[in-house]
Structure 1
Amino acid sequence: MKTSVWIRFILATFLLQWLALSAFSQGALSYVDLVNRLHDLEYLATPPHKDEKSGSFSSYDRRSRYDAVTNTYEAWGANGDGSGYIRKEGKDIVVFEQEGPGVIWRFWSALAKEGHIKIYIDNQPVPVVDKPFRDLFETVGNEVPPMNYPNLVMTLSRGRNHYLPISYSKHCKIVLSENWGAYYHITYTSLPKSTTIPSFTGTYTKQENFALAQTDRTLGSRGYERKHYDKEVVETRQVKATPNAEVLLREVQGNKAISYFKVNFDNFLTKQEKQSLIKNLWLSITWDNDKTPSVLTPLGVFFGTAPEVYSYRSLPVGVINTSFYSNWWMPFSKSAKIKLINKGSVPYDIGFTLVTVPLSESADSLMRFHAIWHQGLNRQEQISTIKPQDVLLADFEKGNYSGWEVSGNAFGKNPVKGTLPNQSPVSDFKGSYLVNSYLNGDSSIGTLTSRKFSINKRYINFLIGGGSHLNKTGLQLLVDGKVVRTATGMESEQLFPVSWDVAEFKGKQAVLKIMDLETGGYGHILVDQITLSDQNIARTDGRALDWTFLDVKGKGRFCGLTLHVENTWEEPRQESETWWYGKWDKKTIDWWWGEGDEKFFVDGEKFPSTYGTGSEDYIGYAWSAEPPFPVFDSPFASQPFTALTGNGHTIVNRFHIADNVPFQNSFEGNLEKYKLNNWGKNNRCLFDAVVYWYQMP
């Protein structure tokens, strides 16, 4: 009898969990339902259906690729990312194609021009949208421009953003015509085949227009208003966080969810006291019977501000004067323990408001909210002096090419001392000399080929910069006359560390070839300090640029990050022609930190399903290597602060609500980091981030 009851209990529990898993992923979804997903923070806690997948189509540089034979990544820093596409159809380019059912949540572009965008739904021969790409961001249907949904379609520091959902039941293809512009992202979600979804017709019903208008109004009131629930409990208290100690703000028991909390402090604190508070006070939240907190982060960065208190408003978090708010939905089944940890030497008086909501069904079937601060994962920066046991193959410090065979006119007669005429400043080489093929600009070509040497260490380490043209600008390793390793520059005049794992060739003779066979943009190469070593100085898979901000195993949803950048440099001696340091290719210093693309690897995929075109493009703005540099906020992306000249601190965030990234087994999120922690002579570029995601316990 007891066994029978136990079996029925297990079956009932399984059925409840299956229903919870399926409720938000199957069945019928109306267009209004999709619009509501744009601000539905509760949905983020529901486990993703196994067939729910998200990704992004973008204009990333197609030279970047994964080599399955060597299990390495080639031209991973290729940066000609304004015009990539899937294929050509006549004079048009296909930029998006997916089977349904699915939803496009976001369009972004840095330069939307007159060439048409054509959106074909469900294999129909006539597009439901056929208008200038620029108009996608300026008009709704046949309405009079400009667009009048300021919280759904917005321009953020030159970046065009469009968050009006476009759904398709069977299929969607998007093409762009000539003169469409440059740079695009199209972010989408594929839904389970059992999902019934309406196909976009190019127009909106009266009910759908009302839903868009209401959602725009809801997003516009973010931070000023919050969602209210029946039977919610609101608690407010004052606490003193003593130095080098932790204080329990609240321990809540039961099957509930945190729907809102707010932290506020004395408005009369000095600027320095506020800086100290948001840096030294840490937020810690532990769910149920967990031994470690799922939320552990400095207070300021969790709420999207650092290193000072900057007011801004996004949907999930924000800062209004001296109040920090969070709308993240945080369910738990047994308990939530919320603490403040004071890592500083002075006490702080803090006001705290917490809103909890009882749940009608068990939170065991829901995911837990996570937010963790760190300074990067898996990034190696071990540039140092050559170790005594290393074998120096070349450092070019004698000022000649002794031991190398020279062909062509790109490399001249000798190595050079840094920057050549009309070249942007070259940085991060070692010593006085390096190989620099910019001798006659990008128009010259040539090669440098080393004498044979024996591979007697596991790694070949070197520094490389310049162009990222695969098999045209780079360094190659040849064994038995065959190219077995290759590396390119990162389309930057900064040299980066690269390591090759050559253990399989140990004992063999090899040759190095430095190439400049490209005459177009970045048609040159920079190389320095080539060594054989038993220790690598960078990742050996070709992904040395990737700064990993999240690497988790399990089932969940990635929902965004706040990124704090401290990028500082010595003032250049040369006076610029315009602005502080010039613009475009006329800069006195190559300072821009945000050239790196976002890359999301989901469930063990070898090539990322999201591959972007630049860090600022990922956030939603554009051209941010070029002044002026405004601050901005919006429901899903903000830049609460950046230094007026660029020299200093920048804080940005990007939140994935409707366009969250579901994963079944694993998620690895990366941003390329083009600046080393220490770059140039006395400059530095440091990243730290708080990452937000949901995960099954």
Structure 2
Amino acid sequence: MGRPIASASRKPRTQGRNRRQESKSMRSFVRALVLGALMTTVAHAQTTAPAISFADLLGEMIHRDSVARWPEPAYRSAQFSSYDRAAQDPNTDWFANGDFNQFLRTETNGGRQEWVLMDHVGPGAVVRIWSANPPEACNLRFYFDGAAEPGWTVDFQGLTGGEGPVAGPLSGVRARGWNSYLPIPYAKGLKITTDKDGFYYQVGYRAYEPGTAVESFTPELLSTNRTMIGGVQYALMHPRSPSVAQTIGLSGALEPGAQRAWDLPAGSHALRELILRVNAPTSLEGLDLERALRSVIVRFWFDGEETVWVPLTDFFGSGVGLHPHQDWWRAVDDVGIMRSWWPMPYARRARFALLNLGDQPVQLSGALGIGDWSWDQRSMHFRANWHWTGELPSRPMIDYNYLTAQGRGVVVGDTLAIYNPVTAWWGEGDEKIFVDGEDFPSTFGTGTEDYYGYAWCTPEVFISPFHSQPRVDGPGNRGHTTNSRVRMLDAMPFKTQMQFDMELWHWAEVDVDFASTVYWYGIPGVRHNRRAQPDGAVAILRAPPPPLVIEGLSEAGDVLGAHTEGIELEHQTTGGYEGQWSKDDQTLFHGQKIGDYLELNVPGPEAGQHRLTLYAAKSWDYGIVRISVNGATVIDELDLWSEPVVATGPIDLGLHAPVDGKYVVRIEVVGKNENSRGTGSYFGVDGVAVTAP
């Protein structure tokens, strides 16, 4: 966020120098912090490793090179969550959706009832905690290494809301999702409990191999490492371009069907930064422009193997089109300059190319920043794979496979770009990640937005170092949306196999477009199931059809009049039923009993009779209503009950003259259908149209 400048020039110059000195000092501190993290990593690798500490994990969080080498000491990533326990296997409630309030067990500790979220035996570290709705005044208790008493008690909302032990970006609420990335190591085991239930949760953790020395977390570490925590927070929010030894400039035109390639220096090196700007013809706009950019393909070959084939805007985490954002690994600024900081090492040779599959020429500029790298047995090649499926039916529900790989590697991030033709929520599906031949996924989630760190289907743009939603068109969840999650401490190693699935679980029965990009590292020769998809890269980008607009309609929400006191009037979007209600919304009247009423003050012409037409809805909890116009009953009983939700279509109210320039249309509950549920006194109104007689 920009700093206000209204009075900045009036401040003494010494303050400006102090700010520059402070900024320079912080940058120097962060450089020292990264160097310290590097030295710690080397020490772990080359000697009998000292115990992994809280400070080690903080340093690793901002040591980019660590992801490009097989982890040492080795660990596996897994997750405890509130996923629906009814999901036993692909043949038994595999898409069950009761992901709320599921725990390992309940216990009584110190006279308190506690709900157990996590119980892991062995050395490890919690690396991520998420919840959609942590209760107020609810404590998380951390029982370290088999202890009968908790070693740390902390407020749940404080830990995940950025107002407790640490602030953002390590903790914070983003699009209604509560997140903590504070590392919490333990030597022999960890149990986490709460003293309240009634919430969704995920706890991601590392499980180190038996015998790995780990220093268990204590709350005192937060104060003794306060300076380091501040440095990590600053580094995450201000990612720096890495130091490079050589730069290769990129410039020129890329005609339709053409490819331009650049060879990197021979020998053992690493690409440390990719900067690109690609301009399409100025005559293009909207989806045509976005399609032209997506038709440009980013390609990399390392040591003779092609490891990257991804459309340009997907590669940089923007999905369809360019949308400003910045995470720990990638950035797109507001003028379209794209940056990538994934380290990409190689032993002998490397090549970078841009391929234009589209029908429009583009102009490109940028640079490749190359640095030193000492290739060893732990070194891995960077890989990125894109998988697109157009017009994918939401029924039957499926596990959409992001990636399946065989061999040894580490998953370090992913981006999902989805087109949804309706406002209804598309992302109820859970991630299911199988590692090294597991029969049941060691990571089983609670919802797609939960995986990406937000909650409640929230169509809100947010940006943070490890997860983001840089695009969401709306209204609701309609149109194009991009979600990203990138990883450091929660990177996912696999020794023999990785299967990364995400359920497609949509509330409506529609066709969506799904495109996933997975970023990962693998040893030379690792295999996977993703191949180039040129047809997908140039596919026509869909746009939702325009909403239904009824001629002459006064929307109910715009003409509300008197109504029964205390009754809730809800503006309701009609997600999943697009094209049936004007502008895809209605006013929902939460009636409680016979006699409850709503009046609409519909504007009318100055004189003369006109035809009034009511547009409403029918549903499973709606009542029987009487309708009057200007005090005269026009319909004695209109039954609005229906098991499936449907639009009524036009309901003729007859010819009427306005009184004082308006028509007062009164809808009053007079009965209940025997099949109606709840109070049986609800009704929904789209509006009233006034047309010529």
Pairwise TM-score range, normalised by the shorter structure: 0.5 to 0.7
Matched, 1:653 2:480: no
Q: Please name the residue that 2:319 is paired with.
A: 306
Flag the 1:311–1:557 CA change in 2: closer, same or farther, 3 A.
same
- Pick the structure with greater CA Rg: 2
* Letter of the 2:66 counterpart: Y
Residue number among 102, 106, 120 corresponding to 1:98 in the alignment? 120
Task: Name the SS for the 1:240 alignment partner.
Answer: strand
Q: Please name the residue that 1:548 is paired with.
A: 401
Contact 1:21 1:48 in 2 (8 A): no
Output the CA distance in 1 between the equivalents of 2:403 and 2:297: 20
Identity of aligned pairs, percent? 30
Kindly provide the CA deviation profile for residues 47-98 of structure 1, in whole angstroms up to 9, marking residues without a partner as x: 24695111010011111113xxxxx531111111011111221332211111
TM-score (normalizing by structure 2): 0.65
Q: Please name the residue that 2:545 is paired with.
A: none
Contact 1:25 1:49 in 2 (8 A): no
| C-alpha deviation, 1:172, in angstroms | 0.6
Counterpart mapping for 1:283-362 below 5 A:
283-290=298-305, 293-321=306-334, 322-359=336-373, 361-362=374-375
Contact 1:332 1:363 in 2 (8 A): no
Matched, 1:696 2:530: no
Q: Please name the residue that 1:459 is paired with.
A: none
* Letter of the 1:289 counterpart: G
Kindly provide the CA deviation profile for residues 211-253 of structure 1, in whole angstroms up to 9, marking residues without a partner as x: 111010001113xx32325xx2223231321210111134332
Output the CA distance in 2 between the equivalents of 1:241 and 1:363: 37
Kindly provide the CA deviation profile for residues 148-168 of structure 1, in whole angstroms up to 9, marking residues without a partner as x: 522111211000110111010
Q: Please name the residue that 1:642 is paired with.
A: 472
Output the CA distance in 2 between the equivalents of 1:205 and 1:686: 45
Contact 1:48 1:664 in 2 (8 A): no
| Bigger mean CA deviation after superposition, 76-85 or 608-617 | 76-85
Which runs of no fewer than 5 residues in structure 1 stay unpaired?
A: 1-18, 67-71, 140-144, 382-493, 498-543, 570-580, 582-590
Output the CA distance in 1 between the equivalents of 2:47 and 2:402: 28
Output the CA distance in 2 between the equivalents of 1:557 and 1:547: 20
Output the CA distance in 2 between the equivalents of 1:52 and 1:197: 12
Output the CA distance in 2 between the equivalents of 1:206 and 1:110: 28
Task: Name the SS for the 2:273 alignment partner.
Answer: strand
Output the CA distance in 2 between the equivalents of 1:671 and 1:87: 27
TM-score (normalizing by structure 1): 0.64
Contact 1:249 1:340 in 2 (8 A): no
Contact 2:307 2:382 in 1 (8 A): yes
Counterpart mapping for 1:30-429 below 5 A:
30-48=53-71, 52-66=75-89, 72-90=90-108, 91-113=113-135, 114-138=137-161, 145=163, 149-178=167-196, 180-204=197-221, 206-222=223-239, 225-228=240-243, 232-266=245-279, 269=282, 270-272=284-286, 274-290=289-305, 293-321=306-334, 322-359=336-373, 361-363=374-376, 365-375=378-388
* Letter of the 2:491 counterpart: N
Output the CA distance in 2 between the equivalents of 1:23 and 1:546: 42
* Letter of the 1:168 counterpart: Y
Kindly provide the CA deviation profile for residues 579-616 of structure 1, in whole angstroms up to 9, marking residues without a partner as x: xx7xxxxxxxxx21100000100001010000000000
| C-alpha deviation, 1:35, in angstroms | 0.5
Output the CA distance in 1 between the equivalents of 2:129 and 2:440: 22
Output the CA distance in 2 between the equivalents of 1:650 and 1:380: 16
Contact 1:25 1:52 in 2 (8 A): no
Task: Name the SS for the 2:462 alignment partner.
Answer: coil
- Larger RCO (CA within 8 A; separation ≥ 6): 1
Kindly provide the CA deviation profile for residues 5-38 of structure 1, in whole angstroms up to 9, marking residues without a partner as x: xxxxxxxxxxxxxx99955995433322100222
Output the CA distance in 1 between the equivalents of 2:43 and 2:354: 33
Residue number among 675, 684, 688 corresponding to 2:511 in the alignment? 684
| C-alpha deviation, 1:185, in angstroms | 0.6
* Letter of the 1:160 counterpart: W
Q: Please name the residue that 1:631 is paired with.
A: 461
Output the CA distance in 1 between the equivalents of 2:182 and 2:481: 29
Output the CA distance in 2 between the equivalents of 1:300 and 1:127: 47
| C-alpha deviation, 1:376, in angstroms | 5.7
Counterpart mapping for 1:584-603 below 5 A:
591-603=424-436
**What is the root-mean-square deviation in Å for CA atoms of aligned residues?**
2.5
Contact 2:165 2:222 in 1 (8 A): no
Output the CA distance in 2 between the equivalents of 1:203 and 1:289: 50
Q: Please name the residue that 2:15 is paired with.
A: none
Output the CA distance in 2 between the equivalents of 1:54 and 1:352: 36
* Letter of the 1:29 counterpart: I
Output the CA distance in 1 between the equivalents of 2:329 and 2:74: 26
Q: Please name the residue that 1:621 is paired with.
A: 454
Kindly provide the CA deviation profile for residues 382-437 of structure 1, in whole angstroms up to 9, marking residues without a partner as x: xxxxxxxxxxxxxxxxxxxxxxxxxxxxxxxxxxxxxxxxxxxxxxxxxxxxxxxx
User: Aligned residue pairs: how many?
Assistant: 474
Flag the 1:567–1:607 CA change in 2: closer, same or farther, 3 A.
same
Output the CA distance in 2 between the equivalents of 1:24 and 1:373: 39
Contact 2:74 2:209 in 1 (8 A): yes
Q: Please name the residue that 2:419 is paired with.
A: 566
Output the CA distance in 1 between the equivalents of 2:75 and 2:389: 28
Q: Please name the residue that 1:674 is paired with.
A: 505
